Structure formats: C-alpha cells, structure tokens
Amino acid sequence: MRAVGPRAGRGPVVGLPVVSEIEIRVRRFDAPESQALIRAALADLGARYGGSGDETPVDAAEFEPPAGTFLVAYLDGQPVGCGGWRSHGDDGETAELKRMYTAPAARGRGVARAVLAAVEHSARDQGRKRMILECGDKQPEAIAMYTSAGYERIPNFGFYQDAPGCLSYGRPL
C-alpha cells in the first residue's frame, strides 16, 4: 500500500500497531521449539502458583493425531506461542486444551486467539464436538480470552479439580 496525503514519505505513524502475519504449524509436542515454549509456559505458571507450574501428567504421544495435535505459532519466523489438544474421556467427542502459551513479547498481537482457533479447528476435524480446559484463578488474561471466545464454567475436572483456585471451562465445537 502506498502512502498518500500529508504524511506521505515521512515513515510510519508512531503509536499505530504493527501488523504481523501469524503462522501456525503442527509440531510434535516433544520437538525442541515446542519444548522451549512449554518450559516458558511452566515457568510462567510457576511464578503465578509456585512449584514447577503444573504437575499434570502429560505424554507427548497424547498429542499425536488422531488422538490430539500440538501447534506452534510463529511471528516473523520466530516461535512465539503454542497450544494443543488431547482426547479426554472414552466417548471420542471431547478434546482437552493443554499448554496454551504466548511469549510476553508477542502478547496483545492476537497470537493466543489464533492458536485457540487453530486448536479448535484441529479437534473439530478429528471429530471432537466439545473442548474443555482447566486453568487457575491467577490467570485473568487467559480467563478473559476463554470467556470472550464462548467458554463457560463447567464442573472442575482433571489433575487439579480439587485444588483451590481451579477453574474449568468448556464449549461446544
């Protein structure tokens, strides 16, 4: 797009957001770039809640299609976010969202929403009809994103279901 008008030729307007294309790729859960983002996610959770951040048992094989998928988001070729889903329950209809994370430098640029949409699309493509997730009450930005994306509180489930501050959400796909 060519600049026209009184600012033509004077460079970018300071204060306007820079729009970057977010690229999302399927990656193995145990791939080095996936693991680097997961370590950062766990460090963030550890800072909020203490300990290692999350003791939930997770096996990389759970994120292999058709039982699950793991995705990494890139901005300008750099991995900046991740998220995945794994099957939950025996009916083959429910997917559990796991390891959603966006690097601090990339926050506010739509990465998490793009990853969430891609994770939901992947789960839907594998026949899942519902997405559920577990998070804690010290993650207000995550809670705000999930509720604005149509997630509603459900009975707690999973590893932390009886822990203080555990919040579980779900929505139909």
Amino acid 57: pLDDT: 86
Residue 157 tokens read as 């489930």
pTM above 0.95, yes or no: no
What are the pLDDT digits (tens) for 42-81?
999 999 998 888 888 899 999 999 999 999 999 999 999 9
Cα 84 to the center of its chain, rounded Å: 7
Amino acid 51: pLDDT: 85
Name the DSSP letter for residue 50.
S
Amino acid 1: pLDDT: 29
Share the mean pLDDT of the chain: 89
Q: How far apart are CA 116 and CA 100, in angstroms?
A: 8
Cβ–Cβ < 8 Å for 79, 33: yes
Q: Whose CA is closest to 100, among 88, 115, 86?
A: 115
Cβ–Cβ < 8 Å for 158, 168: yes
Strands 94-102 and 130-136: parallel
Amino acid 2: pLDDT: 29
Which CATH superfamily does the domain covering 23-172 fall into?
Gcn5-related N-acetyltransferase (GNAT) (3.40.630.30)
Q: Reply yes or no on whether the pLDDT at 10 is more than 60.
A: no
55: number of CA atoms within 13 Å, CB side?
A: 7
Amino acid 11: pLDDT: 40
Helix, strand, or coil (residue 41): helix
Largest CA distance in the chain: 63
For the ranges 8-12, 26-30, 61-65, 67-71, the lowest mean pLDDT is seen at 8-12
Spatial CB neighbours of 164, under 8 Å, sequence gap ≥ 6 = none
Q: How far is CA 162 from CA 59, 134, 135, 151, 165, in A?
A: 22, 12, 12, 20, 9
